[in-house]
Amino acid sequence: MGLRERTRQAVQSDIAAAAMRLFLDHGFDAVTMDQIATEVGISRRSLFRYFATKEDIVLGDLAERGRIVQAALAARPEGEGPWEALRAALVVLTEQPAYTVETAIGISHMFHSTPSLRARHVEKQLQWMELLVPHIETRLGIEPGGAPDPRAQALVASALACLDAAVEAWARRGGEGDVEILYDQAVAAVRA
């Protein structure tokens, strides 16, 4: 990665951190792009070079995190079952916590109370589906790119829904408990 890209990522990170503080202090809908630009000390026009929308500021790293999960899934042992491989791949998300517990809880509450964030989150999950489904198709013996087969999509969609349910339950409990255990409970309910 060159200097220009590292600088861009550092600026994006600074913008996201400042915006997140504003969102958590004042509420997502109450904060404007102008306020974020002022907080960071850049022009509105410069801000739009980094993020097209407020939703992108909150969800921007989810696309990259999807690629991290994809790489982890691709690295799982060939004979491992799809549920086990998905769980192990999703664990990488807990290995690099992006926020403190308090911030993560605030973000979760913000997600669930802001329709535009929920909609964009669904879009990002559809991107994750595109990344993960081919690996699960292979595990199921389905020819990737062949005739549509709902099994791999259903497994990935279910795993992601279980992850969302686990994180939401964890946040509603005030950060009490282990997200992995909550995920396992959600998966057990789906597989029952």
Q: What is the DSSP string of the chain?
A: --HHHHHHHHHHHHHHHHHHHHHHHH-TTT--HHHHHHHHTS-HHHHHHH-SSHHHHHHHHHHHHHHHHHHHHHTS-TTS-HHHHHHHHHTHHHHS--S-HHHHHHHHHHHHH-HHHHHHHHHHHHHHHHHHHHHHHHHTT--TTSS--HHHHHHHHHHHHHHHHHHHHHHHTTT-S-HHHHHHHHHHHHH-
Residues carrying CATH 1.10.10.60, the chain: 1-52
Q: Which fold has domain 56-191?
A: Tetracycline Repressor; domain 2 (1.10.357)
Residues carrying CATH 1.10.357.10, the chain: 56-191
pLDDT in tens, the chain (192 residues): 788 888 888 898 899 889 999 999 999 999 999 999 999 999 999 999 999 999 888 887 777 888 999 999 999 999 899 999 999 999 988 776 667 788 888 888 888 889 988 888 888 889 999 999 999 999 999 887 777 789 999 999 999 999 999 999 999 999 888 899 999 999 999 998
pTM value?
0.84
Query: Dihedral through CA 48, CA 52, CA 55, CA 58, nearest 10?
Result: -50
Top-level CATH class of 1-52?
A: mainly alpha
